[in-house]
Amino acid sequence: MPRRTQVGIIGCGPAGLFLAHLLARAGIDSLILEARSRAAVEGTIRAGVLEHGVAALMQELGLAGRMLRQADRHAGITLQWRSQRLHLDLAALTGGKAVTVYAQHEVLKDLVAARLAAAPGSILFEAPARAVEGIEGDHPAILFETAEGGAGRLDCDHIVAADGFHGIGRGAIPASIRQEYGKTYPYGWLGVLVEAPRSWPELIYASQGDGFSLLSTRSPTVQRLYLQCDPADPVEAWDDARIWRELGSRLATDGWTLTQGKIFQKSVIPLRSFVCAPLRHGRLFLAGDAAHIVPPTGAKGLNLAVADVLVLSRALSRAIHRGDASGLDAYSDTALARVWQAQRFSAFMTRMLHRDPGETPFDTRLREAQLEQIALSPAAATALAENYVGLPFPAED
């Protein structure tokens, strides 16, 4: 049985789910096809920092109940190098803005539950999209596999590929018009979850000893820590003793000790920067990681996905309700302008805080001088803070 919806969305990550909610608010019907099970989507550990504007959007959409009860607002971050800590007062530097530390999979749980409550059947799990067709005409469709293993077809007016970096959407833009820009870094992140109380009241981004480390949090009893590693390292290369030894030295400062606890989750992720352009071909639109990847040092990946779909939802609404395609025509340029700012900031944070395997003592001193400039110059501190809490979303015209 073919199905029909106004906007067919591939992928139930932050991009797909925020889009479905934004479209519903605008009175537009959508259906999400997701390759994985609901449990897998809701259990995958990823990002944790919501920009000021993303947390505000969750409230605006009526999706912030649990976030407001459970998550912490962080009005500052700490930078550390050479065993010195610098408190960056985000709120003071940005006119009162802050970030919210709330795990991506908790955001997804809230958005999935709210979407299914409002529109039962509007997300099909275990239904991988296999191909899109007709995107250059007026009647596009998504061909997918049903949870029972049969062939499904979703006819729609517009298709949004919000299917992450390894999805099928990007490849449907002909190679002759698709441009891809990218860079892979010679280091990765080992991420761990630990049962322990908080060791410090805010996030610490540190660059010391063998490189980067990050102290983040999930709750008063669960902490999230990352450290720079060889991207080829299997997690088995990192036994608990080695993790604590490295974190201990990379976060060491006088009069403070990192509280240890049971490590119950470990993963290694590669670091890359990637942009695909344009974000549109006919009636197919790319959003989120399907179109671009940032290294996680700036905490921008999830936030950028939300900014894309905010712009796209307005454009779809204008096209569907008013027959005005100007927003759809402008989508790629409008979204990419903000994407390149996030790319610049993420690459800046990454280079400043990681130790390149081929780094010379000169390179190290240059990185430290960059960090010192943030301590010395209110202009440099303000630039970092403005980007970290999130640049404004593109204005609605």
Dihedral, CA atoms, 158, 19, 5, 336, nearest 10 degrees?
Answer: 10
Measuring CA to CA, which residue among 277, 270, 303, 224 is closest to residue 14?
Answer: 303
CA dihedral (56, 58, 60, 66) positive or negative: negative
Out of 74, 281, 292, 354, pick the active-site residue. 74
Q: Which residue has the tokens 């670091």?
A: 271
Least separation, in Å, of the C-beta of 348 and ligand DHB? 13
Dihedral, CA atoms, 305, 331, 157, 28, nearest 10 degrees?
Answer: 60
| Residues of span 124-183 touching ligand DHB by CB under 6 A | none
Q: Which of 20, 23, 49, 251 binds ligand DHB (CB under 6 A)?
A: 49
Q: Which does 168 bind (CB under 5 to 8 A by kind): ligand DHB, ligand FAD, none?
A: ligand FAD
166 catalytically annotated: no
Residues of this chain that interact with ligand FAD (CB under 6 A) are: 10-16, 33-36, 41, 46-47, 104, 128-129, 162-164, 167-168, 269, 288-290, 296, 299-302, 305
Across 335-368, b (16+ Cβ under 10 Å) vs e yields bbebbeebbebbbbbbbbbbbeeeeeeeeeeebe
74 catalytically annotated: yes
Q: Which of 8, 152, 296, 390 binds ligand DHB (CB under 6 A)?
A: 296
Residue 111 Cα to chain centre, angstroms: 15
Question: Among residues 16 and 152, whose Cβ is nearest to ligand FAD?
Answer: 16
Residue 118 Cα to chain centre, angstroms: 25
CA distances from 316 to 116, 216, 282, 337, 347 (A): 22, 37, 13, 19, 31
48 binds ligand DHB (CB under 6 A): yes
Paired strand residues for 50? 100
Q: Which does 19 bind (CB under 5 to 8 A by kind): ligand DHB, ligand FAD, none?
A: none
At 225, which amino acid appears? L
The C-alpha atoms of residue 75 and residue 144 are separated, in whole angstroms, by 44
140 catalytically annotated: no
DSSP state of 94: T
DSSP state of 273: E
Neighbours of 118 (CB within 10 A): 12
299 binds ligand DHB (CB under 6 A): yes
Out of 14, 140, 295, 296, pick the active-site residue. 296
Q: Which does 387 bind (CB under 5 to 8 A by kind): ligand FAD, ligand DHB, none?
A: none
Q: Which residue has the tokens 């936030």?
A: 303
Out of 102, 185, 187, 205, pick the active-site residue. 205
251 binds ligand DHB (CB under 6 A): no
Stretch that binds ligand DHB, among 23-31, 115-123, 294-302, 350-358 (CB under 6 A): 294-302
Question: Among residues 152 and 298, whose Cβ is nearest to ligand DHB?
Answer: 298
The angle formed by the CA atoms of residues 30, 31 and 32, to the nearest 5 degrees, is: 125
Q: Which of 21, 97, 224, 281 binds ligand DHB (CB under 6 A)?
A: 224
Stretch that binds ligand DHB, among 47-55, 90-98, 166-174, 331-339 (CB under 6 A): 47-55
Question: Among residues 285 and 345, whose Cβ is nearest to ligand DHB?
Answer: 345
388 catalytically annotated: yes
Q: Which does 173 bind (CB under 5 to 8 A by kind): ligand DHB, ligand FAD, none?
A: none
205 catalytically annotated: yes
47 binds ligand DHB (CB under 6 A): yes
Least separation, in Å, of the C-beta of 339 and ligand DHB? 17
Site residues, ligand DHB (CB under 6 A): 47-49, 101, 203, 214, 216, 224, 296-297, 299
Catalytic residues: 74, 205, 296, 300, 388
